[in-house]
Chain A
Amino acid sequence: MNPKTLKYILKRLVLAVFTVWVVITVTFFVMHAVPGGPFVGEKAVSPAVQKAMEAKYGLDKPLFTQYTTYLTDVIQLRFGPSLKQRGRMVIDIIGDGLKTSARLGIIAACFALVIGVVLGSVAALRRNTFLDRLIMVLTTAFVSMPSFIMGSLMLVLFSVRLHWLPANGTTAAGLIMPVVALMLSPMSYITRLTRSSMLDVLGQDYIRTAKAKGVSHWKIIFGHALKNSLIPVITYFGPMLAYIVTGSLVVEQIFAVPGIGRAFVSSITNRDYTLIMGTTIVLATFIVIMNLVSDILYKVVDPRINLE
C-alpha cells in the first residue's frame, strides 16, 4: 500500500472518530437541554427522592464532569438503565433488538445488491430494448418511494386485501414484506448505477481489445465488464446501509418486527431518554463506520482514483 493511500485512510479514520465524538456530544447536550433532564419519571416524586435519584446518577455534579463521565461510560458501552422498561439495561435492549434488525438489514442489503446488479447488467446489455425500458421505468418509480410508504402499501395489498402474507413480522414469512420494503429503493438505485457504469465500461477500449482477441462473450461480461462496473457500486454501500437503518426504524414499526428500530421509535414516544441516547449513538457509529469502510474500499479497489 502506498503512503498516499495510507495517509488518506488515516485522515478518514480521524474524521470518523471525530464524527462519533460529535454524535455523542450532541446527543448528551441535546438530552440535557430537555427540561427536567433525562431522569424524569412519569410520576411526581418527592424532592428527597428526586435528590437521591440525581445523586445516584451523578446529576448533581457540574455539567462538564457529567459529560466526561458519560463519555467514558459510552466508550465502554455503558448506557445505563432504561427509564421505562424497569430493570433492563439499555445495552441489553439494543443487543436483543440488534439480532432481529441485523438479520432483516443484511437480508435486505444482500437482495438489493444481487438483484440490483443483475437487473442493471441486463438493462445495460439489452440497451434500448423493451426490457431495458421496463427496468428503467420501474426503478425510477421505486427509487424515490419512501420505504414506509412502500411498506404500508404492501401491507394493504398483500395482507389486508389478499391475505397472502402475515402482517406481523415475527415469523419467517412475515419478514418478506419488511425486506422488500427496505430493499426496493436501494435496489433501484444500484440497478441504475450498475446500468450506467456498465454502459460506460462496455464502450472502453479494453473491451474492444478483448473482443478482437476472440475472448468469449460471457467471459468479457463477467471477467471484464461486470468487475469494472461494480466499482461505483462500492461507494453506494455506505449510504445504502444508512438508508436501510433509517428505513428499518419505520418499517419495523409498520410490521411489528421486534428490532432495534421499533425499540427506538417506542423510546421516542415513551420519552425513554437513555434508550434514545444509546440507540442513536450505536446506530450512528455503525453508519459512520460503514461509510468509512465503503469510501476506503472504493479508493483501494480503483487505483485510478485521485486521493485528494
Chain B
Amino acid sequence: MDASNLKRMSAQINVDDFLPASEEEKEYMVKMRPSTTAFKDGIRRLKKNKIAMISFWIIVIITLSAIFVPMFWPYKYEAMLGMTPGKPVDSSFKNLKPFEYSSTEQALISEGGKVFPHIFGTDANGRDYFIRVVYGTRISLAVGFFASIIVLVIGLTIGAISGYAGGKVDMIIMRIVDIIYSLPDMLMVILLAASMKVTLAQKLEGTVLAKIGTNIISLFIIFALLYWVSMARLVRGQILSLREQEYVLAAQAAGAKGGWVIRKHLLPNCISVIVISTALQIPSAIFTESYLSFLGLGVNAPMPSLGSLASDALNGINSYPFRLVIPAIVISLIVLSLNLFGDGLRDAFDPKLNG
C-alpha cells in the first residue's frame, strides 16, 4: 500500500455535525399533517370535485328557493286570479304570456299603481305560473326526500336483521328480497297507484292524512313496499363482511348483545355506503313521482308537482310551449344535479372505489 491510499482511508470528522439539533432544526424536520378524520378527508376530496360542488350549490339554491319563495311571493299557487267572489270573472287573467298583465292590472299600472309581474305568465285558470313551478318543485323535492327516508329506515332495519341473524331468517328475507327485486317496479307502482287512489280516498276521509292527498300517501306506501330491497341487500352485504371482523368478536366476547353490536359497531362502519345510496335514491324517487304525476296518478289537484305541470302543459302545447319547457328543465336540472352530487359523494367517501 502506498502513502496516497493510506491518506484516502483516513477520515476527517467534523465535530460540529454531531451537536444536538436545535429546536428550530427539529421543527424543520418534522412534517406533520394536521390530524384528520375519515369524514374530513372525504369532505376535502368532495370539495375538490368541481362538478359535484356545482351540483351541490344548484341543489341548495333550488331547495332554498322552493322553501322560501312561496313565503313572500304575492300570489298563491291555488289562487285563480280574476276570480273574486261576487264579481264577474275577469278572464283577461287567463293564459298570460310571461311578463304580461291582465286588463285590470294594466289599468292599475296606468294609474300609477304597482303590480307584481307574472314572470312565467299564468295558466289556463289564471294562476300565476311561477309560483306553481316553485310549489311543484317543493312537492317533488319533499316527496323525493321523504320517500328516501322511508326506504332508508325499512331497508336498513331489514338488511341489518337479515345480515346479523343469518341462517334461516336471512334465507327467508333474501328470497323475499329476490322476488320483490325482480318485480317490474314501474308497472307495479302504476298498478298500486291506480287502485290505491280509490281505496285510500274512502279510508282517509276526514282524517289529517286526507289533506296531504291520497296520491302522495299511496306513493309513500309504494316506496315502502317496493323500493327498500336494494337498500336491504346493500346493508346485508356490508354487515356480512363486517361481522367477521375481530372487533365484533371482541365485543361479543365482552358480552355485548345483538342490538348493541348492530348499533355501535356494524352500522357506523357502513354509514358511508348507506348515505351515498340514500342520496342516489332521492333523484329516482323524484323521477318516479314526476312519472306518476305525468300519468295523472301523482299529487291531487290543485296541488302542482313538476310532473303534473308538464302533463297539464301538453294540452296547450301549440300556444304555450314554455309551460312545458319550464317544469321539464327544472326536473332535469334537479335529477341531474342530485345524480352528479351522489356520484361525487361516492367517489369521495367510498374508500374501496378510490383505487
- B331: chain A residues within 8 A (beta carbon): 146, 149
The reply to whether the CB of B70 lies closer than 8 angstroms to some CB of chain A is no
* B264–chain A nearest beta-carbon distance, Å: 31
Interface contact B199-A35, CB-CB below 8 Å? yes
**A283 touching B187, Cβ below 8 Å:** yes
Given the known inter-chain contacts A34-B199, A35-B202, please indicate yes or no for A156 contacting B317, CB distance below 8 A. yes
Given contacts A30-B195, A268-B190, A276-B191, contact A145 B332 (CB under 8 A): yes
Q: Which residues of B contact A280 (CB under 8 A)?
A: 187-188, 190-191
Q: From A12-20, A93-101, A109-117, A220-228, give the one contacting chain B.
A: A12-20
Q: Could you mark each residue 23-37 of chain A with 1 if its beta carbon is under 8 Å from any beta carbon of chain B, else 0?
A: 100110011011100
A160–B317 CB distance below 8 A: yes
In the complex, what residues of B have CB within 8 A of residue A153's CB? 324-325, 328
Q: How far is the CA of A3 from the CA of B123 in the complex (A)?
A: 65
Point out the residues of chain B lying under 8 angstroms from A30, CB to CB: 191-192, 195
- With contact pairs A141-B336, A280-B187 given, residues A146 and B321 touching in the complex (Cβ less than 8 Å): no
One of B26-34, B89-97, B178-186, B249-257 contacting the partner? B178-186
**Is A254 an interface position by the 8 A CB rule?**
yes
Residue from the list B183, B184, B194, B335 in contact with A268, Cβ < 8 A? B194
C-alpha gap A72/B8 in the complex (Å): 104
A240 CB within 8 Å of chain B: no
Stretch at the interface among A55-63, A83-91, A211-219, A242-250: A242-250
Among A45-53, A125-133, A284-292, the one that faces the other chain is A284-292
Is B340 interfacial (CB-CB < 8 Å)? yes
Decide if B108 is an interface residue (CB 8 Å cutoff).
Answer: no
Q: Check if A269 is an interface residue, CB within 8 A of chain B.
A: yes
Interface residues of A in 254-308 (CB under 8 A from B): 254, 264-265, 268-269, 276, 280, 283-284, 287-288, 291
What B residues does A283 contact at CB under 8 A? 184, 187
Tell yes or no: B344 within 8 A of A by CB: no
State which of B178, B324, B340 has its C-beta within 8 Å of the C-beta of A156.
B324
Check: A134 CB closer than 8 A to any chain B CB.
Answer: no
Contact with B along A153-197 (1 / 0, CB 8 A): 101100011000000000000000000000000000000000000
> Is there an interface contact between B182 and A146, defined as CB atoms closer than 8 Å?
no
Interface residues of B in 201-241 (CB under 8 A from A): 202
Residues from 287 to 310 in B contacting A, C-beta threshold 8 Å: 287, 290-291, 294-297, 310
Q: How far is the CA of A254 from the CA of B314 in the complex (A)?
A: 8
Binding site for A on B (CB under 8 A): 178-179, 182-184, 186-188, 190-192, 194-195, 198-199, 202, 283, 287, 290-291, 294-297, 310, 313-314, 317-318, 321, 324-325, 328, 331-332, 335-336, 339-340
Given contacts A19-B182, A148-B310, A254-B314, 10 further A-B contacts (CB under 8 A): A26-B188, A30-B191, A34-B199, A146-B332, A149-B332, A264-B190, A276-B194, A280-B191, A287-B184, A287-B187
